[in-house]
């Protein structure tokens, strides 16, 4: 499934998520919802900063796979699965486990864009000598 479709399904299934974004390993935005430029821009800027801050706290050098920040007015979640990172905002007092589950499911459902398949050429039949 592509990122846009996975994000649409996430937004339909999770009533707690108010905005979400999917980025690839290079930080390129693959999809965002809703079509609110301000929310998407805020998540695009915040996600790498949150992951970097979490990585600075660790001592073993392992990759950060989950970040959760809860504030009085809402929460921000970031989940990294392979080359895909999904970030989301919620309203106040979200059910963290459920939001994380939904974000992981979304990230895992995203398939990398398929490379065009090379066409096989047919071989010409060898002519038999007369």
Distance CA 20, CA 23 (A): 10
The span from the CA of 107 to the CA of 23, in Å, is 10
What is the distance between the alpha carbons of residues 31 and 39, in angstroms, rounded to a whole number? 13
* Residue range 48-80, pLDDT digits in tens: 889 888 888 877 767 888 999 999 999 999 999
pLDDT band at 26; cut points 50, 70, 90: confident
Contact 24, 107 (CB under 8 A): no
Confidence of residue 130 (pLDDT cuts 50, 70, 90): low
C-alpha–C-alpha distance, residues 102 and 57, integer Å: 25
Q: Class of the 3-109 domain?
A: alpha beta
81-128 pLDDT per residue, tens: 988 999 999 999 999 999 999 999 999 999 765 544 455 555 555 666
Predicted TM-score (pTM) of the model is 0.79
| pLDDT recorded at residue 115 | 46
């Amino acid at each position: 499934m592509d990122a846009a479709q996975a994000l649409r399904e996430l937004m339909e299934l999770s009533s707690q998520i108010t905005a979400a974004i999917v980025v690839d390993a290079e930080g390129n935005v693959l999809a965002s919802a809703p079509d609110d430029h301000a929310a998407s821009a805020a998540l695009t800027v915040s996600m790498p900063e949150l992951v970097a801050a979490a990585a600075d706290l660790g001592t073993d050098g392992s990759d950060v796979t989950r970040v959760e920040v809860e504030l009085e007015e809402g929460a921000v979640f970031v989940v990294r699965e392979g080359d895909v990172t999904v970030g989301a905002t919620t309203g106040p007092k979200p059910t963290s486990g459920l939001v994380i589950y939904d974000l992981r499911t979304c990230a895992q459902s995203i398939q990398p864009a398929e490379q065009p398949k090379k066409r096989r050429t047919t071989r010409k039949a060898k002519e038999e000598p007369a």
